[in-house]
Structure 1
Amino acid sequence: MSMCHNLDKHNIVKYIDCFQTIYGKALVFESLDISLFDYMEMKDFAPMLLSDIRTIIQQMATAFDALKGIGVIHTDVKLDNIMMVNHHQRPFEVKLIDFGLAIPTSQAKKFRGRQIFEIMTRTELMESIQSYKPSVSSVSQVRVLLIGPVGAGKSSFFNSINSVFRGHVTNQAMSGSSTTSLTTQFRSYSLKAGREGKPLPIILCDTMGLEENAGSGLATDDISNILKGHLPDRYQFNPSAPLHSEAHGYCKSSDLKDKIHCVAYVTDACKVSIMPKKMEEKLEATRKKVNLMGIPQLVLLTKVDEACPLVTEDVRNIYRSYYIRQKMQEVSTRLGVPLSCVVPVKNYSEELELDPNCDILLLCAVQQMLRFADNYFDDISDQLSNMKVKE
């Protein structure tokens, strides 16, 4: 905020100075009293007088008008960000603070938007997924490979999708926090619509986490074998010795139904900016292998609630958050995939009950996987048709 605008005269916190630290730039603002939230908490959230409410609203209107004049949108207005100047001597004189999520009005164009929470309901999405059928008759279930760094949320994503269709939070796949991968086996998880329900038309394939150092984590050669359908379920990974074609358990003959039809790179939104160079190189090498095989790819951007306080408050704010949009653009650039292929999700990690809005995000991700797989099957069908024409 430039001081030339005298924003502090318009109920906006006064900027004083800035200086550089080892952690980045620090900003200095005037000292204020307590937030409106803290004030209401002190009063046990007793109803406020209409005259006091009117006073606060008038001051906020003044602040918004000043921001509009310089082309800025705050995007994170809440009681915590409305500060009292001095609630003893100057009752209900307030100022707007915290512009960490503010954006220029020029960048406030609609971005996917909240319509996914309004147009498609959780039930409609579930029914759409349950009724899906691959366009290739030889395949009954789409196989999606989950790849990503340790702790990004691959196993948690399966657990979350499983939870949605089971109707309660589950933890079938081993997940949690660790510096090394908790998943040590290749797992092909089939999903069911309810405990005794029919299998869903999608299988989520979980792998060992990627690690930046050579000889640790999921090996690139094992990824190739998974893509081609050569690795059996419950294969025990050995980072220093990938499975070779003559080894016991190697599936030499594989059909289209055994291969991977879509790859999802699982990435932690909190760690996109600090992704190690070696990890980027591993992901790039993997992406090139997948590209050569013509398999569609998308990115699951996880832990969006931990990355942005706006989403922490309400997951429906996910497409209103400029910060999340920045993270989506950044991961799109780093991994070399189109922005339209980046899907933000929130996995279940500490919750005991399901959240319908969280479910909608998760189900939209599955829906995209099925659509991408359809593209892959269409390409396969076109290749077969061209071969028949040549014959």
Structure 2
Amino acid sequence: MSWIKSKVCRPSPLLDEPWRKINWGDNRTDLQYVKDYRPHTEGQQLRILLHGPAGAGKSSFINSVQSVLLGRMYAHALVDNTSGDSFTTKYKTYKIQKGNPETFYPFVFSDIMGLEPTSGVLVSDVILAMQGHVKDGYRFDLESKLSEHDGFYNRSPNLNDQVHVLVCVASACTLAQMPEEVVKKIRNIRKEASDLGIPQVALITKVDLACPEVNKDLKNVYKSKYMKEKMEQFSVNVGIPMNCIFPVKNYHEKTDLDDDMDSLILNAMKYIINWGNDCIDFRSQSEPSGRNV
């Protein structure tokens, strides 16, 4: 009697079709879109505030965007790779040089200390930053929020000081283990942002380290069942809709630019700019003075 060994058919870790379309490798359109962005009001700048757990890659994303737009590796925002604690301790605004040392893109990134379960930046300070009350260079106090009597408190924030889009940065490697205290902080910050009319976006970093299929080929990121499930759970946990969540891989190992990495970074930036610009237009129409915060 002959025996036929049957193969065990394991389900594929990849979807048959990607659940979101990306123009892999052809970045000219998105790159030009970001480079050509201009707010409707002369002198207006779009402020992007990054927040999230310590070590998620906020500063690395700033460096990655700068690298893509400059066409070479750039490391303006300092990054620490030796500690799980927040390396950023001050409120810092980053401009991106365009063309020559005196010309900059009309959007800026504001970087803050990371969120931690029992320490890190205070939610109240993040709210003050969103309102435009925190001056550049303020060193965050882990015990008490920025006082109105402090020299770094901006009493009369204008439209350029205020935040126009809030970006939560989280690592794909720690989404499942994110402490409940940090999740609560993210939800509280999101609620305050919504009350202020600030759109919210999430960036999921380190996708290649979290999923073997994505590590093999970054283009699998929107076909990976694992990544989709983790992003969906994150969406449920913090309340940010899936269409506002973008996976990215930051430049932290490579020394040369990569087309696929650029595709994800530019795709995220296009939507960040769009929603931030909508916020600027709304505020310009409803708050002409820009001082009603």
Alpha-carbon distance in structure 2 between the residues aligned to 1:162 and 1:7? 59
Q: Would you say 1:189 and 2:94 are equivalent positions?
A: yes
Deviation at 1:124, TM superposition (A): 2.4
- Residue 133 of structure 1 aligns with an amino acid whose one-letter code is R
Match of 2:196 among 293, 304, 307: 293
Partner SS, residue 63 of structure 2: helix
Please list every run of 5 or more consecutive structure 2 residues that lacks an aligned counterpart in the other structure: 289-293
Q: Which residue of 2 aligns with 1:111?
A: 19
Aligned pairs for 1:158-169 (under 5 A) are 158-169=62-73
Deviation at 1:239, TM superposition (A): 1.3
Partner SS, residue 319 of structure 1: coil
Q: Which residue of 2 aligns with 1:171?
A: 75
Higher relative contact order (CA 8 A, sep 6+): 2
298-307 or 237-246: bigger deviation: 237-246
CA displacement, residues 91-118 of structure 1 (integer Å, 9 cap, x when unaligned): xxxxxxxxxx266xxxx454113x4216
Alpha-carbon distance in structure 1 between the residues aligned to 2:4 and 2:256? 44
- Residue 19 of structure 2 aligns with an amino acid whose one-letter code is F
Alpha-carbon distance in structure 1 between the residues aligned to 2:4 and 2:258? 40
Aligned pairs for 1:1-391 (under 5 A) are 9=6, 12-13=7-8, 74=12, 101=13, 108=16, 110-113=18-21, 115-117=22-24, 121-135=26-40, 137=41, 140-177=44-81, 178-193=83-98, 196=101, 198-213=103-118, 216-381=119-284, 383=286
CA displacement, residues 122-162 of structure 1 (integer Å, 9 cap, x when unaligned): 23222211111123x15532100000110000001001111
CA displacement, residues 216-266 of structure 1 (integer Å, 9 cap, x when unaligned): 210112112111111111111111122111112211111111100000000
Contact 2:50 2:169 in 1 (8 A): yes
Alpha-carbon distance in structure 2 between the residues aligned to 1:313 and 1:327? 18
Please list every run of 5 or more consecutive structure 1 residues that lacks an aligned counterpart in the other structure: 1-5, 14-66, 75-100, 386-391
- Residue 128 of structure 1 aligns with an amino acid whose one-letter code is Y
Count of aligned positions: 285
Cα gap change, 1:195 to 1:123, in 2 (>3 Å):
farther
- Residue 124 of structure 1 aligns with an amino acid whose one-letter code is T
Cα gap change, 1:351 to 1:246, in 2 (>3 Å):
same
Cα gap change, 1:203 to 1:196, in 2 (>3 Å):
same
Q: Give the TM-score normalised by the residue count of structure 2.
A: 0.90
Contact 1:129 1:201 in 2 (8 A): no
Cα gap change, 1:8 to 1:341, in 2 (>3 Å):
farther
228-237 or 166-175: bigger deviation: 166-175
Task: Report the identity percentage.
Answer: 33
